[in-house]
Structure 1
Amino acid sequence: MPRALVVADDLTGATDTAHAFAKRGYGTTVRVDPDSEPNASVLAVNTDSRYADPETAAERVRRVVRGTDAPVVYKKVDSTLRGNVASEVDAAMERFDRGLFAPAAPAVGRLTACSHHLVDGCLLTDTEYANDPNPPASARLPALFEGLDRPVRHLGIGAVAAGPDAVRGVLDDVPPGSVIACDATHERHLVAIARAGRESDRRPLYAGSSGLAEHVAVPGEPDRKPGFEYAAGGALGVVGSVSERSLEQLAALPEEWVIAIGPEELLSDPEGAGREAGRRTADRLAAGEHAVVTAAPDREAVERTLELGHERGLDGEAIRERVTAALASAARAGCGEAAGLFVTGGDIAMAAFDALGVRALSLSGVEVEAGIPVSRLDGGCADGLPVVTKAGGFGSDATVINCLRALGGDHE
C-alpha cells in the first residue's frame, strides 16, 4: 500500500506533482497503464479526465480514491484551474470530512490573493487559459464550488500568514464536509497550510497544484536517494502543447532541430504522417543530433490546421485526436534511436506512452528546471529510457533546449 496517493487529471500534472515527493527521497511512481500495480511509497494516478464531462471525471476520481487506504491523499488540480476542478475535488472528498484547497504555486507565478487566482500577475480569466477547451470556471476560488452541496470557507492571506496554528484552528472548526479555499502568495503560506493539515486531528484531503505538494508530509522515512545517470546522444522531443509559452520555446530552438508535420498530411493520414516524421527524427538521432517533432511550430500552423479541419467538417476534438495520433506515431517510430524522450502536453504524453507500451514512470527525484522532473519509462519497447515531461505553460524560452541537452548528457 502506498503511503501517499496523488490523483491528477492529466499525465504531466501527475508527474510534476509526484516529483514533489520524489525529490524528498520517497520512492515515487506514476501509473500509466491502469492495470499495473506499481510498488511505491508514493503512487500518482492519472485519471485522464481534464476534458471529460464533470460526471465522468468525478466517477474516475471516486473510483481511484475508493481503491486506496493510503493515509495521505493529494488531489492535484491544474495551476490554472482548467478542467473539472470542483467536481473532482468533491469526489475525492468522499473519504474526508475536511478539505484544504490551495492551487497557488508561487515558484511558477501562480498566486491567490483575496480569493482570486493570478497567473504571472494577471487575473486568471484574463489570460490565454480562459480560451482552453475546458477553461477555468472562475478566477475566484469559492465560486468554483457553487452549485455543490458542500460548505466552502475562504481563508484570506492574513489568516494564512498568521501560521499553521491559525489555519489549523479554522480547519478544526468548520462544519464537516467543508472545503477551505486558501490564499497563498509565498511558499511560507503553503508551508503553513500543509503543516496545519498534518497537525490537525481532522485528517484532511489536500487539493492543489504541485506547489502545495512540495510541503505535504508523508508518513515514515524517505526510502530512496534522489539521483540520475544521463546517457549521451540525441534526444527526441515531442511537443503537443499549443500554449504561447510552448510556441515561444519552439521558436527558440535551432531550426534544424524541428521536424514539423504539415496540416494537410496531419489531417489526411495522421498515423502515416507521424511515421514519416518519426523516420526523419530517427535519422537525426542516429547521428547524435537532437530532434523535435511537432504539429504546431507556430501560431500560423495552429490556425491553418484548424481552418483546414473545419473545412473538412471536423470539430476541435476530432482535430485534436488527429494531432495526438500523429505525434504518438512519431514518438514510436523515432524513439528507438533516442538517448532520452521529452514530451510536453498531457494528452500527447499519455498517447505517446500508450503507443510505446509504457506501464509506469519511475521518478528520479531530479529535475532539469523547477517543476520539470526526470523519470524512466517502465515497460514497453522503450523500457528504461530517460524521459522528461513538462506542462505546456511552464518554463522559460530556453526550457526545451535545456531539457533536450540534459537528456543528451549535457546537463551541467
Structure 2
Amino acid sequence: MFKFIIIADDFTGANDTGVQLTKKGYETYTLLDLEGFTKSEFDALVIDTETRGLSPENAYNKVKESINKLKALINVELEEMIIYKKIDSTLRGNIVEEIIALYEELKPELIIFAPAYPKNNRITLNEVHYVNGKPIDKTEFANDIKNPVNVSNIKILLSNTNVFKVRHVYLSEIKNLEVIIKNLKDINTLTFDAEKDSDLVEIATKVTEANKKVLWVGSAGLAEALISSIKKEGKIITVSGSTRSLTITQLINLSEKGNIPIINIDLYNLFNEAESEKNRICSLVNTYNDKDVIITSYMAQEDLETAKKISLELGIELKDISQIIAEKISEISLKVINFTKPKGLILTGGDIAFNVVKKLNSKIIKIKNEIEPGIPEIELFEGPFKRLKIITKAGGFGNELTLYNSYRYLKGE
C-alpha cells in the first residue's frame, strides 16, 4: 500500500482531506505538532501547519521546517510515498510560497495543481477558478479579512514566480494527458481545468500511470480522486468451511457480484493426498494472478455427503472430521497467505476462522469495527502478519449479501 503524506494549512482542511483516506481503509493520523511523534507504522499522516493566516515568509519557513522534521522522523522518499499539498478550494492562503517550500525540499519532477472541488461547486474552466458560478476574485472571498483572493486565473497565480514553468491543461485536453506528460519540455508544473469529479479522477489516474515523482496540490476534491484512483496492493482471500446453505448463497453472490473465482477443495484428496491438494490449491490461486479468490470446502450438498463418507471410512465421528477439515484448510490458507501477502481475509465458519487465525501466529487480536450485526472486523496485533485485516462470520449469520458487503468494505468501497 502506498503511504500518504498530506500537508494542510489549517485544521479543518487537514481533516476534510484525511477523512477521504479513512473512508478507503487507511489508518490516518492528523498531527498538530511533529515533536514527539514516534509511531513507526501508519498509512497516512496529515500535517497541519496552521500557516493560512501567517505572512508569506513565515508560511514558507514553517512548511520548510515541517517537511524537514518529517524527513528526519520517517525518511521521506517520493518514490515510496504520495505527497499531497492540501490547499483551500477558494484559493485562500499562502499557496505559492508553500508550494515553493515543498518543491525546494522534495524536488519533484512534476507539480500537479488542480484546486477544483465540484461537489462543493468549486470548478476550474479555461484557467479561471469559479465558486458557485462566479470567478473567485468576484466573490466574497475577495474581501476575506485574513486571506483576500485577488487572482482567479490559476495559471497566472503560479506563473508570477520564476520557480514554476507552467502549462495549463484545458478540459478538452485531459483525455490526452498521458501524451502531454510524455512530451513536456522545460515544464515542471501542470495546472488543470476540472468541471466534474470524473475529470479529477481521470487526471489522478493518468498522472499516476505516468510514474513521475509528483507533488500533488489541490483541495479535498483532487485528494479524493487520487485516493480512489490508486489500487491498494494485495488480494482479498475468502476462506469458507461452513456447511450452512446461507453461507453457500453468500459465496455465490460474492463470486458473481465481485467476479471472484471459487476454488473448491477436494475433501477426499484433503485426507488422502493432503500435500498434493495443498499444492493444487496454491497453484490455482497463483494462476489467477492479482484476482481475489474464494477457497471453500462446501459448495453443495454433495460436499457434506463426501464428509460423511470419509467419516464412515475412517471410523471417525463427523464432528471430529469437521475439526480435522478445518485444521487442514488452515494449513492450505497459511501457505496461500504466505505467498500472496493479502491485504485482507474473510473467514466464515467458526472452526475455520479460529484455526486460520491461530496459524497466523498472533495471540492478540484488535477488534476494529462491526460491519453488520455480529460481523466484526479484526486486526492482528502481532506476529508475522501484524495489521492484517480480517472479517470473521459465523456460518448462519448475515443476509444473502453479507460476504459481498464485507468484501467491498475490505476493498475500501
TM-score (norm. length: structure 2): 0.50
Q: 1:145 aligned to 2:158?
A: yes
Residue matched to 1:196: 206
Deviation at 1:170, TM superposition (A): 1.9
- Bigger relative contact order, structure 1 or 2 (CA pairs below 8 A, ≥6 apart): 1
2:25 & 2:17 partners in 1: Cα distance? 14
Deviation at 1:176, TM superposition (A): 5.2
Cα distance change on mapping 1:168 and 1:87 into 2, 3 Å: farther
Matches within 5 A, 1:222-233: none
The C-alpha deviation readout for 1:257-301, integer Å capped at 9, x for no partner, is xxxxxxxxxxxxxxxxxxxxxxxxxxxxxxxxxxxxxxxxxxxxx
**AA aligned opposite 1:5:** I
Residue matched to 2:95: 85
Deviation at 1:49, TM superposition (A): 0.6
1:59 & 1:222 partners in 2: Cα distance? 39
2:223 & 2:211 partners in 1: Cα distance? 20
The SS at the match of 1:145 is helix
Contact 1:100 1:193 in 2 (8 A): no
1:221 & 1:19 partners in 2: Cα distance? 20
**AA aligned opposite 2:149:** P
Q: Could you tell me which runs of 5 or more consecutive residues in structure 1 were left unpaired when the two chains were aligned.
A: 224-363, 366-412
Q: 1:8 aligned to 2:18?
A: no
Residue matched to 2:143: 131
Q: 1:42 aligned to 2:30?
A: no
The SS at the match of 1:215 is helix
**AA aligned opposite 2:97:** S
Deviation at 1:34, TM superposition (A): 3.0
Cα distance change on mapping 1:85 and 1:222 into 2, 3 Å: farther
2:11 & 2:190 partners in 1: Cα distance? 26
Residue matched to 2:33: 33
Question: Over aligned residues, Cα RMSD in angstroms?
Answer: 2.4
1:203 & 1:27 partners in 2: Cα distance? 24
Contact 2:34 2:66 in 1 (8 A): no
Matches within 5 A, 1:8-407: 8-37=8-37, 38=39, 39-66=41-68, 67=71, 68-69=76-77, 71-94=81-104, 95=106, 96-132=108-144, 133-149=146-162, 150-160=164-174, 162=175, 166-175=176-185, 178-217=188-227, 220-221=232-233
Cα distance change on mapping 1:41 and 1:176 into 2, 3 Å: farther
**AA aligned opposite 1:139:** S
Contact 2:2 2:232 in 1 (8 A): no
Deviation at 1:56, TM superposition (A): 1.8
Deviation at 1:220, TM superposition (A): 4.3
2:190 & 2:135 partners in 1: Cα distance? 21
Deviation at 1:167, TM superposition (A): 1.5
Deviation at 1:105, TM superposition (A): 0.4
Deviation at 1:62, TM superposition (A): 2.5
Residue matched to 1:319: none
The C-alpha deviation readout for 1:86-124, integer Å capped at 9, x for no partner, is 111222223202111000000111000010001111111
Contact 1:97 1:177 in 2 (8 A): no
2:10 & 2:150 partners in 1: Cα distance? 18
1:219 & 1:16 partners in 2: Cα distance? 21
2:64 & 2:179 partners in 1: Cα distance? 28
1:92 & 1:176 partners in 2: Cα distance? 19
2:91 & 2:224 partners in 1: Cα distance? 18
1:51 & 1:11 partners in 2: Cα distance? 12
1:148 & 1:213 partners in 2: Cα distance? 25
Cα distance change on mapping 1:79 and 1:24 into 2, 3 Å: same
Deviation at 1:221, TM superposition (A): 4.2
Cα distance change on mapping 1:125 and 1:195 into 2, 3 Å: same
Residue matched to 1:289: none
Residue matched to 1:391: none
Cα distance change on mapping 1:92 and 1:219 into 2, 3 Å: farther
Percent of paired sites with the same residue = 32
1:65 & 1:222 partners in 2: Cα distance? 30
**AA aligned opposite 2:209:** E
The SS at the match of 2:113 is strand
The SS at the match of 1:52 is coil
**AA aligned opposite 2:171:** I
Contact 2:167 2:187 in 1 (8 A): no
The SS at the match of 2:225 is coil
1:143 & 1:110 partners in 2: Cα distance? 18
Residue matched to 2:291: none
Cα distance change on mapping 1:83 and 1:151 into 2, 3 Å: same
**AA aligned opposite 2:31:** R
Deviation at 1:173, TM superposition (A): 2.6
Aligned length: 221
1:202 & 1:74 partners in 2: Cα distance? 14
TM-score (norm. length: structure 1): 0.50
Deviation at 1:51, TM superposition (A): 1.4
1:30 & 1:176 partners in 2: Cα distance? 36
